[in-house]
Amino acid sequence: MSERENKPNTSNWFMWFDVRHRDIGDWAFVLHRLTALGLVLYLGMHLIVLGTLTLGPEAFNSFIELAHNPLFIFGELLVVAAALYHGLNGLRVGLTSFGVAIPYQKQLWYVVMAIAVIGSIIFAISMFTA
Ligand code: HEM
């Protein structure tokens, strides 16, 4: 596929997520966008769950029971990983937007990925062994 065909625009929005034949910077962007969407979805679900807590202690206790489910804990781990990546990469994007460290933006992304992966592993260990 030529670079021109692979250029995203509003009529072929799915191309935003198509990283084939693209550079590492596009992977960084797609991951930033996916984690952003994931965090927005989580924020909505979080507010809905908090809303059910106003229904009384039974609702609260049944939520706490659900929160101990390994699938739920895995979902929380995805939120942590997404927040780590999105926050750190957001700082990288912010820096380069202000003209700071532009020649090193690729190396900075590797640092972001390393911290996000190592941080997620540390969180995974503490979440699943607690
Ligand atoms: C430390 C915290 C955060 C930082 C430093 C940060 C930074 C950024 C930056 C710099 C962008 C623009 C990226 C670009 O122009 O290429 C962005 C986009 C975005 N962020 Fe964050 N962000 C943070 C937390 C969050 C959270 C908690 C949410 C959701 C609840 C969120 C949702 C979004 C969304 C929806 C976009 C638009 C993504 C897109 O258009 O692809 N961000 N963020």
Q: Which atom of ligand 1 is nearest to the CA of 29?
A: 16
This prediction has a pTM of 0.87
Residue closest via CA to ligand 1's atom 21 equals 36
Q: What is the pLDDT of residue 9?
A: 74
Q: What is the CATH number of domain 22-129?
A: 1.20.1300.10
Rounded to the nearest angstrom, the gap between the alpha carbon of residue 115 and the centroid of all alpha carbons in its chain is 13
pLDDT digits (tens, 9 = 90+) for 51-63: 988 899 898 888 8
**What share of residues in the chain are helix, strand, coil (percent, to 5)?**
80, 0, 20
Which pLDDT band holds residue 21 (cuts at 50, 70, 90)?
confident
Q: Which atom of ligand 1 is nearest to the CA of 16?
A: 41
Instruction: Kindly list the domain boundaries of the chain, sorted by start residue.
Output: 22-129
pLDDT digits (tens, 9 = 90+) for 51-97: 988 899 898 888 889 889 999 999 999 999 999 999 999 999 999 99
